[in-house]
Chains A and B, each alone.
Chain A
Amino acid sequence: MDNSSIIRTLVIDDSRIMRNIVMESLRKTGLAEFEFTEAISGSEAMEVFDADLIDMIFVDWNMPGMNGIEFARFVRSSHWANHIPIVMVTSETGDAKQKDAYDKARISCYITKPFTVDEIKEKIFLIIADVQKKKSQTTSAPIPAATPVAKSSGFFSKLLS
């Protein structure tokens, strides 16, 4: 199986129903095969988050304790996780809120509830394509062949001398 086609996705929402809706909607987009990790809060997400094992993050805004914006800032402040796309899935529809999310938390994409499968597909298909491209470049990059030592007959003589 080509692992570059599997998107390892962290879904963060205090609502089990919403996590299920997000995961099911992503499956229905058909854009990729998804492998999900769930968290019920920003705090729990910090505990399970590993930049080496997560390709993409879907996070709710309003959650008890650490909210989605704070979690996104945490990810963006991490040099080793800065590249991971973050999709905000939220009921906050105001233009000012969206601007805050993009400017202050540097999220990659903003999806407002309620959403349809087609809407989520349209919003993330480029992000998914980019993630898959990067994963395929990482997994298929050949190990450079060892450069042969010069075969000149004088090499070993010089080495020994």
Chain B
Amino acid sequence: MSPQTKTSPSVEVLNHPITDVPQFLIDVTNQSIVQTFEKMFGATSVESPEIESSEVEGVVGLISFVGDVTWSLAMMFPQKAAVDLAYKFASFEIEYESPDMGDVVGEIVNVLAGVICGELGNQGIHSQMSLPTVTRGKHVELLLGGHLIAKRLIVSVADNQFGIRLIVSKTTMIAPVIF
């Protein structure tokens, strides 16, 4: 990722609700995913699919950010991807049904969130991340209220694919202006 010059935070007050997840969040998330996952797991690519799929049989890790912009990020791992990536992360086998699986997914989410926070901070956008929460199940579906909008990304790494959701409130009335 190219180095960013630190800027003083500058926000633009919007006079209308937003209709899409802000592009700067998508860009920072994309770059952070590639940077983080290539280091941990190898070659990584990110796509923005048009077809929406709302549920997964697997593990979902969720983390939120507060600060200049309030938003959340969910990582949705199908069971195979969860097991494979957990093994690569921890360097030992982790059973899908074990509590350690929640631990690993939480850590992976935490690591990505830290990189995102750092990159946003380098652009003058202050944010603080929450502790991650992890859910596991057969038909795990993110239920987004009418006030929320989401952007879906598909990450391909180490012969696996998993989904990422960026979730923002429509009523976000400020947006950081990046120079």
Interface of A toward B, CB cutoff 8 Å: 15-18, 20-21, 24, 62, 64, 90-97, 112-114
Contacts and interface: CB of A to CB of B under 8 A. Distances in A.
Contacts of B113: 91
A93 B91 contact: no
A97 B117 CA distance: 10
Nearest to A98: B118
B118 A18 contact: no
Nearest to A25: B91
Contacts of B39: 114
A40 B169 CA distance: 34
A62 B118 CA distance: 15
Contact of A18 (B107, B122, B129): B107
A64 B130 CA distance: 10
Contacts of A93: 114-115, 117-119
A70 B90 CA distance: 27
Given A17-B103, A21-B90, A114-B40, A91 B110 contact: yes
B103 A94 contact: no
Given A91-B111, A92-B118, 17 more contacts: A15-B107, A17-B104, A21-B89, A24-B91, A62-B110, A64-B131, A91-B110, A91-B114, A91-B115, A93-B117, A93-B118, A94-B118, A94-B121, A113-B107, A113-B110, A114-B36, A114-B89
Interface string B89-126: 11110100000100110110011011101110110000
Nearest to A114: B40
Nearest to B115: A93
A104 B111 CA distance: 23
Interface string B17-43: 000000000000000000010011000
Contacts of A97: 118, 121
16 contacts: A15-B106, A16-B103, A17-B90, A20-B92, A21-B89, A21-B91, A24-B91, A62-B131, A90-B114, A93-B118, A94-B117, A94-B122, A95-B6, A97-B121, A113-B114, A114-B89
Nearest to B113: A91
Contacts of B117: 92-94
Contacts of B121: 94-97
Contacts of B118: 92-95, 97
Contacts of A114: 36, 39-40, 89, 111
Nearest to A21: B90
Nearest to A19: B103
B96 to A, nearest CB: 14
B28 to A, nearest CB: 12
Most chain B CB atoms below 10 A, which of A17, A18, A90, A96: A17
B77 to A, nearest CB: 15
Contacts of A20: 90, 92
Nearest to B129: A62
